[in-house]
Homo-oligomer: A and B are copies of this chain.
Amino acid sequence: MKTVIQNINKAFENRVRLGVMSVLMVNDKLDFNALKELLEVTDGNLASHLRALEKAGYVEVQKQFIGRKPNTQYKATPEGKKAFHSHLEALENLLKSSKKS
């Protein structure tokens, strides 16, 4: 049990962060509006969790122009993908241990 909990990454506890990482594992890059629509969250909520993930080095921001419009894309870093994999493993172990009941 010990290890199960210790391996759960606090940076991913929040469900918005779980969602962001989850969609960035499947999609190479997504812009803010795509993330917002996929996750059905408010601007402020999404922005604050993206900042936290960026600060942790798990998500990187790529600014570009589409025509003359600035567009910000979000991408999981290799470190973020690795950390999220470990987190998912920890969750899986927890699921397994809860099902012994």
Contacts and interface: CB of A to CB of B under 8 A. Distances in A.
- Say whether chain A's binding surface is mostly helix, strand, loop, or mixed: helix
A83 interface: no
9 contacts: A1-B23, A1-B39, A2-B40, A5-B16, A13-B15, A18-B94, A88-B98, A88-B99, A91-B95
A8 interface: yes
Interface residues of A, number: 33
Contacts of A92: 95
Interface of A: 1-2, 4-6, 8, 10, 13-16, 18-19, 21-23, 25-26, 38-41, 84, 88, 91-92, 94-95, 97-101
